[in-house]
Amino acid sequence: MQVVKTVTEMRKLRRQLNEPVGFVPTMGYFHEGHLSLVRQARKENSTVVVSIFVNPTQFGPGEDFQDYPRDLERDLELLEREKVDIVFVPSEEEMYPSGFSSWIDVEGVTERLEGASRLEHFRGVITVCAKLFNIIQPTRAYFGQKDAQQAVVIKKMVADLSMNLEITVVSTIRESDGLAMSSRNTYLNPEERQAAIVLFRALSLARELWQGGEKDADKIRHEMTSLIQKEPLARIDYVSIADANTLEELKAINRPALASLAVRIGKTRLIDNVLLKGGK
């Protein structure tokens, strides 16, 4: 496994890689969710490249950029075990040299859900992903369903800007009690960790109601909200039943939908979602 730190070195190496090249962009501090992306990339490609970069431009003022958990040594050990070929670990200066002033915006889908309260978040995510795609030129890139809106936004950018790669979205990996794996779960104390199950319980309720034939999105949002409000440590940011592609809120669930939510447990903001589509 080669660890590469500069864009110049990465570009040089890229010319020699066996095709197809699978790419997993990450901010490190790996859990099983990240590793499931890496494993799928390993299965489907001759070469696997993983990037580790805690991207400052996707964190808003007052968010957890400084505190975001980091453990490069452990991450590299885990990637070595997964037989990753190349790890791209650029510095902040390498990605955003002084004078950097070019950004990519995707309108519409970025303005709802996460985008409504985290104003510049998606501009940062989209721009760094576009840069990474340009540097690594992957055949396929892998994203988690856990960050459903991020996956929708990246797919839209790739389609709108005719980028030459395929985006694969991999199912959410959960703890045994249903909590979606996330690097931010490490912020939870034991009492908060227990309370955090309420996100999955609310999403499971949404799925049960929908599977039972409920099509009224307001009713489902209302039932989810009531359930979460019973948990004293939880504060709702949003509860959404939206079109799975445009992320516009639905009145009736008459097409593939995404049930998603953002909830603060103590000081930690957690997000999760389930798809309401297909064979129920």
Tell me which residues touch ligand PAF (CB under 6 A): 25-27, 55, 58, 125, 128-129, 147, 150
Query: Closer CB to ligand PAF, residue 128 or residue 179?
Result: 128
- Please say if 31 is a catalytic residue: no
Query: Closer CB to ligand PAF, residue 40 or residue 58?
Result: 58
Query: Closer CB to ligand PAF, residue 113 or residue 125?
Result: 125
Q: Which are the contacts of 26, defined by CB distance < 8 A and separation ≥ 6? A: 34, 37, 50, 51, 52, 53
Q: How far is the CB of 143 from ligand PAF (least distance, A)?
A: 7
Q: How far is the CB of 129 from ligand PAF (least distance, A)?
A: 6
DSSP three-state, residue 53:
coil
Cα 54 to the center of its chain, rounded Å: 13
Phi, psi of 67 (to 5 degrees): -90, -5
In contact, 174 and 148? CB cutoff 8 Å:
no
Locate the DSSP E strands across 145-226: 166-170
Q: How far is the CB of 38 from ligand PAF (least distance, A)?
A: 13
Q: How far is the CB of 154 from ligand PAF (least distance, A)?
A: 8
Query: Closer CB to ligand PAF, residue 31 or residue 201?
Result: 31
CB atoms within 10 A of CB 78: 18
**Candidates 31, 34, 121, 222; catalytic one:** 34
Q: How far apart are CA 83 and CA 207, in angstroms?
A: 37
What residues are annotated to the active site?
34
